[in-house]
Amino acid sequence: MNHMHGLDRRSFVNGLAAGVAGLATGTWTARAAQPAPWFRISLAQWSLHRAFFAKKLDPMDFPVIARRDFGIEGVEFVNQFYKGQAEDSKVLDGLKKRCADHGVTPLLIMCDGEGYLGDADSTKRTQAVKNHHKWVDAAVALGCHSIRVNAYSTGTYEEQMGRAAEGLSALTAYGDSKKINIIVENHGGLSSNGGWLAGVMKKVNNPRCGTLPDFGNFRLGEGKEYDRYVGVKEMMPFAKGVSAKSHDFDKEGNETHTDYKRMLEIVKEAGYRGWIGIEYEGGKLSEPEGIVATRKLLEKVRA
């Protein structure tokens, strides 16, 4: 350094300063060369439903568990574990604080047990819409982008489509006023028919109303199943989330019911670049083991 020419010394100092600035701003070429993954992994609270129902885990700790035990940074709440607490500010503030303290993103609330949005009885359908309002408000308080609802109905194919669209339209209008999306999962009955659900979305025709394609929920009833790959492809144009359902795994770590490589190619080709949520429902592995197995499979296919 003592023998460095003045110009060289200035070049060295300037280069060092630029390097320090690069560290501070994260603009190093090496860092820039590592693109962000095309999807991030979240955890659906239902993956631990047995432990929560058995009171082995505290629902208030769900964001902490997702981050601490599984290294997952996004969470999908289930309203069944917070019954009677949708309007409890202490509970909502507590969950939000736990998310913030542990670097976890609250994504959505999965809602069940609030009535049928496609009920054949118009009075009951209207009441079901109102019953969901509190969960929209809870999603606002938590900082979620959506609530997940069901589109169950009865009647003919067209009657069910009309009734579901009517209920969803009414709830979506409320969600829109709060900047919350209303998203529908394939969850049995005609909702597990991808073509039918896509038709409902077109009928609602509101950007705030979308789908949550689930890899495994394609049971139509009476032992019939809808093609899961066709169904996900039909639902993806409206997707605001994706649920990676898993049950069993082979020795190589592949899910035995769903070809994850094929399914994720469908998701990617649709242009989706959001979160994909782990929803383990198997019985052979424990809930924590199933979550880890699903995460590893998602990471393997993503890579």
Domain boundaries in the chain? Answer: 1-34, 37-302
| Interatomic CA distance for residues 14 and 4, integer angstroms | 14
List pLDDT tens digits, range 143-161. 999 999 999 999 999 999 9
| Residues 6+ positions from 31 with CB-CB distance below 8 Å | none
| Interatomic CA distance for residues 292 and 273, integer angstroms | 22
List pLDDT tens digits, range 174-230. 999 999 999 999 998 999 999 999 999 999 999 999 999 999 999 998 889 999 999
- Tokens at 125, concatenated: 């359908």
Q: Specify the CATH number of the domain 37-302.
A: 3.20.20.150
Rg value, the chain, Cα:
23
- Tokens at 78, concatenated: 């289930």
How many Cα atoms within 13 Å fall on the side-chain side of residue 196? 25
Q: Is the pLDDT confidence value at 254 over 60? A: yes
- Distance from first CA to last CA of the chain, Å, rounded? 45
- When comparing pLDDT for 21 and 260, which is higher? 260
Give the per-residue pLDDT at 121: 96
Q: Where are the strands (E) in the chain, listed by range?
A: 40-44, 74-78, 105-110, 146-149, 181-185, 209-212, 219-221, 224-225, 242-246, 275-280
* Mean pLDDT computed over 17-30: 46
Token pair 């600035």: residue? 21
* Mean pLDDT computed over 134-144: 98
List pLDDT tens digits, range 33-62. 678 999 999 999 999 999 999 999 999 999
Instruction: Write the DSSP assignment of 90-154 as a string of letters.
Output: HHHHHHHHHHHHTT-EEEEEE--SS--TB-SSHHHHHHHHHHHHHHHHHHHHHT-SEEEE---B-
- Tokens at 52, concatenated: 């929560």
* Mean pLDDT computed over 15-33: 47
List pLDDT tens digits, range 65-91. 999 999 999 999 999 999 999 999 999
Nearest to 74 by CA among 256, 301, 244, 254: 244
